[in-house]
Chains A and B, each alone.
Chain A
């Protein structure tokens, strides 16, 4: 157990110093901006419905990436396994979805 504590301290020394609120404030700003864009696109009656659908799905993907990278700390070091398992889970789910929709019900 003491070895563990040493490891933790070692990691702290190697520069995992708390980075302060700057990144979080930027990420928060981007999130709000993306949400606003989505609302504005839906509210704007001049836009084509198909375009709006595609547009807000793209915004949603960006939103998800920002949530994962900043708020869920995926951009920090030492998150290899979290990313691996998220990616595998997404792979399994998307594969099952595509197979069910395009193979089975095609």
Chain B
């Protein structure tokens, strides 16, 4: 019998799952956890800067640098990335009418490598050597000479987490190319799927640059190489180039799925189809291309020369064109629509002006002569928080409220949702709008304190008050999430949606679609509803469904890398006991960790696992 597959329960079910919906929830849980950790770090920063030096100093300079570094690193790599991936996992296979992603095993591996990388990075808080080099880890500050073991945590932790992202990106590319339902051509794909596709493509080309850069810095630090050591012929500026060749596309990796989510939510709640669908697709692809051609605008003050600065400045301003196309399309989508202001829609509509403000300061920063003034001031801090919080976080929250019923099968409370929105939205603008002016008044970024009576006291106080509002907003969101466990059960189609995910039960069954749907156009489910049908026309007869078996191997593969990471980090470290010195000095821990990973890979290669089938009788029994 094909039914001999072992079914796990409880914790083992979550560790072994290869189901994209459960992995999506895992990404959400882990991303949410790191978001809260990063948020606490942000609050510490704002508490420290609330008053000038001498009144209320809770952090010293070193601790401030650590908190600031970990805030940035955590929020980008460990909060925003997994939340985006969680959303892609939860939504993309359903939107294209697939039963899972192309490589369910790899999907699980991607999650666990990300998770263990993130845990490794945060363990630095307990070992007492926290990264203190900023999230950009510029050489030579991040080299052997100027920083301690904390920088190893940065390099190794991000290296392991980066594997997860790359694996996930490739998985989604293959899924979207190969697993679309019959009739779903590329130009019938929902825009969230399109943006996930382009984002995965950017990941494919950008993350190798980060991996290479991190290997260089690890070799510099652990094996005395000299890629970035000027004294022995290395080039410190090279790190900046490598980091930003990855780092700038990274911004678009995060923001494109956010754009996609907005493009799903606005048509649903304005009850109109998306304005300019094909121009939206074109703009997304164009942003993807341009994202690789602008990295040096982070380095205008490095001294690249007038020509390089001017060309990169112009290239950067070009991005405003496809982004502008998107903004106008969103405006025309809601223009004249029958708008319902649900929580998701509130977040989505507030995203538009907020993101435009971040974009405008972006164009200002793209002008090299002006950038020489803005550089390293709070103006830059205000700009990227408007883009990342105002652009990405607002739309991720909108997406969370929108797709929550489909992911968890429960409705979120709308009243609490609106409270959370207003607290977060007001808090956000209170915190960051004034920081533009702090920058223009001369306050430098990355300082742990400032002297009183320079005209910055009130503005910093206001900014910190805003941070508390944001924290209150996040707490309300968490309360809302927790009480939704007992909340009302979600119907299959709570928002009168347009795309395929709303044509199946909430939460969707493990096989997603009993029969793969036949797609007849853009907004496939809406088309059927307009023809007076209640569900999609099936494209295949009812038959047994092939499912992948759960596996514990991805967990142990990642655990092996995690252990090996510690082995490499502490191989040159002076422990108090000779035993520990031998254990790490002779690479025993590193080899042990890599051995775990290799044995898991061997087992995966040697033992064929054909999965199992869900038979027709079972499908009929479930109705």
Contact = CB atoms under 8 A, between A and B. Distances in A.
Given A2-B543, A104-B308, A96 B201 contact: no
Interface string B281-311: 0000000010011011000000011011001
Contacts of A89: 204-205
Contacts of B308: 103-104, 106
A76 B42 CA distance: 54
Given A92-B205, A96-B245, A100-B241, A106 B293 contact: no
A61 interface: no
Given A92-B205, A103-B307, A3 B540 contact: yes
A65 B444 CA distance: 52
B305 A106 contact: yes
A81 B177 contact: yes
B445 interface: no
Nearest to B173: A85
A72 interface: no
Interface string B491-510: 00000000000000000000
A23 interface: no
B296 A103 contact: yes
Given A1-B546, A88-B205, A95-B293, A103 B177 contact: no
Contact of A88 (B201, B311, B545): B201
B543 A106 contact: no
A91 B293 CA distance: 11
A85 B204 contact: yes
Contacts of B546: 1
B312 interface: yes
A30 B173 CA distance: 35
User: Which range contains the number of A residues in contact with the other chain?
Assistant: 10 to 19
User: Which range contains the number of B residues in contact with the other chain?
Assistant: 20 to 34
A99 B289 CA distance: 14
Interface string B244-285: 010000000000000000000000000000000000000000
A106 B309 CA distance: 12
A45 B608 CA distance: 57
Contacts of B311: 99, 103
A64 B204 CA distance: 22
Contacts of B289: 91
A96 B206 CA distance: 11
Contacts of B173: 85
Nearest to A1: B546
B540 A106 contact: no
B202 to A, nearest CB: 9
Nearest to A80: B177
Interface string A62-106: 000000000000000000010001001101100110011001101
Contacts of A99: 293, 296, 311-312
A3 B46 CA distance: 58
A104 B304 contact: yes
A104 B296 contact: yes
Contacts of B177: 81
Nearest to B311: A103
Nearest to B202: A92
A103 B299 CA distance: 13
15 contacts: A1-B545, A1-B546, A2-B543, A3-B516, A81-B177, A91-B289, A92-B292, A96-B245, A96-B295, A99-B311, A99-B312, A100-B241, A103-B307, A103-B311, A103-B312
Interface of B: 173, 177, 201, 204-205, 241, 245, 289, 292-293, 295-296, 304-305, 307-308, 311-312, 516, 540, 543, 545-546
Q: Which 3 A-B pairs have the closest CB atoms?
A: A103-B308, A1-B546, A92-B292
